[in-house]
């Protein structure tokens, strides 16, 4: 039926080991033999069976990547960077969608491990105990991404969501905003959102705003952002800046202001987080925190390759940093 390595060996009048060596680029094969084998491979249209290779070599050439939502552009970009790097080394990425649910993540990790991937990429740095244990026990390289932690399962590449939120809050204060509200998205198990909120609290503490700050929680959707505006406007103290934990919330908030005829940033300024393409396109442009997610994915890919080749030990930690993009949705401030 399908042509196997043994068929190629027979036709080229060599042993199966030799064909295998040619395929894997081992250099101790004479040029003449190599050419003959290559010719047979072409003539016969031979395509290796990676399942068999995986079993024999206990290397599958597969890396599993878990993201909380397929179809979210942020995570797509990370996967793109990761894939770009890994594909060059013949490694395919298998994506799992764990929908912000630790239980689901655990189930997917368990399933994926049965396929014997060479490595794992996880979004976020908080995972349940069983997940951590399974991954540790598997002994394969793990990279956690999109945030930072001092206690990674293995390696971590990302940026400090905490520091970014803190920096954004302080910058907004410098620009003259004094009465802020923070909208977090409903997500008990999203460490990035959690850290953003903590960063906001940290900045508030530094500014001496002990607990007078308003914190809302809404679904991470356009309508969640709209609902936040409603609540902010009702609030007794005149709030002048709405800090949103995601761009989606922020954009929803801007739309709601448009509907209500509320001037942004004149009456209410709005800032987001993620720098989606939408943030630059909307009117007014959305002030937000930007991270080069494709680069982050690439770094994750390189880390995994290093770990797989043994050239890199565990517990590496890389901070890819962040940039605050100031646009027209917040005030330019006194000095600008």
* 181 beta partners: 214, 242
Query: Is residue 328 a contact point for its own copies (CB under 8 A)?
Result: no
Distance between CA atoms of residues 143 and 5, nearest Å: 35
Contacting residues toward DNA, per CB under 7 A: 1-2, 4-6, 13-21, 23-24, 27-30, 32-34, 48-49, 52-53, 55-59
Binding mask 196-225 for its own copies (x = CB under 8 A): -------------------------xxx--
Token pair in block for residue 33: 């033999």
Query: Is residue 167 a contact point for its own copies (CB under 8 A)?
Result: no
Distance between CA atoms of residues 5 and 53, nearest Å: 11
Q: How far is the CB of 112 from its own copies (least distance, A)?
A: 7
Q: Determine the 3-state secondary structure of 194 from DSSP.
A: helix
In the bound state with DNA, the residue whose beta carbon lies nearer, of 21 and 127, is: 21
Query: Is residue 327 a contact point for its own copies (CB under 8 A)?
Result: no
Smallest CA-to-CA distance from 89 within 330, 318, 306, 315 is with 306
Query: Is residue 277 a contact point for its own copies (CB under 8 A)?
Result: yes
Distance between CA atoms of residues 8 and 4, nearest Å: 7
Smallest CA-to-CA distance from 298 within 81, 144, 79, 65 is with 81
In the bound state with its own copies, the residue whose beta carbon lies nearer, of 4 and 306, is: 4
Distance between CA atoms of residues 26 and 169, nearest Å: 56
Q: How far is the CB of 55 from its own copies (least distance, A)?
A: 5
- CB of 10 closer than 8 Å to CB of 36: no
In this structure, the strands spanning 214-218 and 155-158 are unpaired
The entry of its own copies, DNA, none that residue 23 binds, CB within 5 to 8 Å by partner kind: DNA
**Residue 147 to residues 125, 168, 291, 310, Cα–Cα distance (Å):** 7, 16, 11, 24
- CB of 186 closer than 8 Å to CB of 219: yes
Contact region for its own copies (CB under 8 A) — 160-168, 193-201, 228-236, 274-282? 274-282
Q: How far is the CB of 61 from DNA (least distance, A)?
A: 10
Contact region for its own copies (CB under 8 A) — 5-13, 141-149, 237-245, 278-286? 278-286
From the list 25, 71, 266, 334, which residue makes contact with its own copies (rule: CB under 8 A)?
71
Interface with its own copies (CB under 8 A): 47-52, 54-55, 60, 62, 69-77, 79-80, 83, 92-95, 97, 110-116, 221-223, 226, 251-252, 255, 258-259, 277-278, 280-283
């Amino acid at each position: 039926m399908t042509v196997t390595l043994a068929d190629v060996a027979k036709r080229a009048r060599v042993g199966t080991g030799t064909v295998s060596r040619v395929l894997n680029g081992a250099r101790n094969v004479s040029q003449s033999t190599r050419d003959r084998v290559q010719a047979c491979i072409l003539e016969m249209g031979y395509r290796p069976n990676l399942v068999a290779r995986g079993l024999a070599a206990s290397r599958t050439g597969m890396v599993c990547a878990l993201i909380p939502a397929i179809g979210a552009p942020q995570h797509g970009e990370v996967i793109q960077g990761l894939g770009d790097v890994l594909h060059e080394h013949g490694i395919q990425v298998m994506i799992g969608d764990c929908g912000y649910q630790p239980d689901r993540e655990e189930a997917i990790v368990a399933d994926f491990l049965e396929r014997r991937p060479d490595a794992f990429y996880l979004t976020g740095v908080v995972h349940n105990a069983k997940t951590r244990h399974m991954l540790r026990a598997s002994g394969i390289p793990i990279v956690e991404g999109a945030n930072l932690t001092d206690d990674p399962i293995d390696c971590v590449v990302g940026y400090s969501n905490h520091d970014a939120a803190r920096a954004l809050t302080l910058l907004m204060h410098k620009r003259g905003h004094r009465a802020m509200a923070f909208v977090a998205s409903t997500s008990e198990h999203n460490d990035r959102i959690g850290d953003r909120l903590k960063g906001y609290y940290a900045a508030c503490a530094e500014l001496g705003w002990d607990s007078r700050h308003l914190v809302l929680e809404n679904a991470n959707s356009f309508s969640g952002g709209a609902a936040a505006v409603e609540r902010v406007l009702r609030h007794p103290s005149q709030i002048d800046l709405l800090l949103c934990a995601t761009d989606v919330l922020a954009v929803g908030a801007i739309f709601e202001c448009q509907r209500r005829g509320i001037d942004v940033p004149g009456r209410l300024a709005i800032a987001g987080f993620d720098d989606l393409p939408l943030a630059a396109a909307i009117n007014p442009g959305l002030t937000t925190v930007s991270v080069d997610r494709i680069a982050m994915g690439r770094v994750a890919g390189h880390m995994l390759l290093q770990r797989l080749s043994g050239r890199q030990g565990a517990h590496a930690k890389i901070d890819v940093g962040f940039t605050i993009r100031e646009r027209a949705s917040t005030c330019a401030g006194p000095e600008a």
